[in-house]
Amino acid sequence: MIPKVIVHNSISLDGSLTGFNVNMPLHYQIAGGFQADMHLVGSNTAKTGMDMFLDKIPEEREEDLRKPDKAGILWSIPDSTGKLKGLLHVFRQSEYCRDVVIFISQSTPDEYIKYLKERDYDHYVAGKNKCDLKMGLEILDKSYHVKKVLTDTGCILSNILIEQGLVSEISMLVHPTIVGKKCYNMFGNIKYNMKPILKKKEFLEGEYIWLVFEPPEGIFWTDSKE
């Protein structure tokens, strides 16, 4: 059994994830309303976020070598290649994250596994060459009793989740702006025609629109050749 997966993001009128000023307070106000048990974040997004929002990576502290004793929501990150080696302490220091659970694969480098073990990060093999997201979600249900997962990551992880039929809802906060030629489309990697059902439409102050879609009868996409 897998938890309910909600994809939440802020986009422009032409579907871009970047190239405009995101209303972050409103974005996270809506995200918090879902009351998710865990956040699912892509390793690319996690690393990019550090580059964008941190002037420099803080030093790893002695207390970062063990699980922190603090309240907050666990984050789970698929990272089969060890992209975040030497960086995970950033999450343990964050006020927004209690700790991280890492999904690796059978092909994950030994030095990354050693790094995770030495610092007592929960990590699970989920897949052979790449992380199997369905298997990872099943682990969250079984090992952490997670019933609702929220991801507001970039398009790569979101698109994979959608194409694999693992998403229960797509929440979009539409901003009143058009990016144009530099549009980085939220659904640019989807290979199939999709026929979602509009579940919610709400007009918010500042000319923002909040849309929530769900798949029809558990099937989110149909082959484009149909």
Segments making up each domain of the chain, as ranges: 1-37+147-226, 40-146
Torsion over CA: 51, 132, 33, 72 (sign): negative
Residues 8 and 158 sit within 8 Å (Cβ to Cβ): no
Average pLDDT over residues 148-167: 91
Residues 40 and 139 sit within 8 Å (Cβ to Cβ): no
- If one compares 122 and 222, the residue with the highest pLDDT of the two is 122
Can you state the angle between helices 155-163 and 43-53, rounded to 10 degrees? 160
Q: Tell me which CATH code domain 1-37+147-226 carries.
A: 3.40.430.10
Q: What percent of the chain has pLDDT over 90?
A: 80
Q: Tell me which CATH code domain 40-146 carries.
A: 3.40.50
Helix segments in the chain, DSSP class H: 24-33, 43-53, 89-93, 110-118, 133-144, 155-163
Residues 160 and 137 sit within 8 Å (Cβ to Cβ): no
Q: What percent of the chain has pLDDT over 70?
A: 96
pLDDT in tens, 37-93: 999 999 998 998 898 889 999 999 999 999 999 888 999 999 999 999 999 999 999
Provide the pLDDT for residue 175: 98
- Residue in the structure block whose two tokens are 């698109």: 159
Provide the pLDDT for residue 220: 54
- If one compares 154 and 37, the residue with the highest pLDDT of the two is 37
Cα–Cα distance for residue pair 157/68, rounded to 1 Å: 27
The rounded mean pLDDT for the chain is: 92
Average pLDDT over residues 145-173: 92
Average pLDDT over residues 14-43: 95
- If one compares 70 and 113, the residue with the highest pLDDT of the two is 113
Cα–Cα distance for residue pair 70/82, rounded to 1 Å: 25
pLDDT band at 169 (very low <50, low <70, confident <90, very high): very high
Cα–Cα distance for residue pair 136/125, rounded to 1 Å: 8
pLDDT in tens, 132-152: 999 999 999 999 999 999 998
- Please report, as a single letter, which amino acid is at residue 12: S
> For the whole prediction, is pTM greater than 0.85?
yes
Provide the pLDDT for residue 96: 86
pLDDT in tens, 205-215: 999 999 999 98
Residue 190 has pLDDT above 90, yes or no: no
pLDDT band at 226 (very low <50, low <70, confident <90, very high): very low
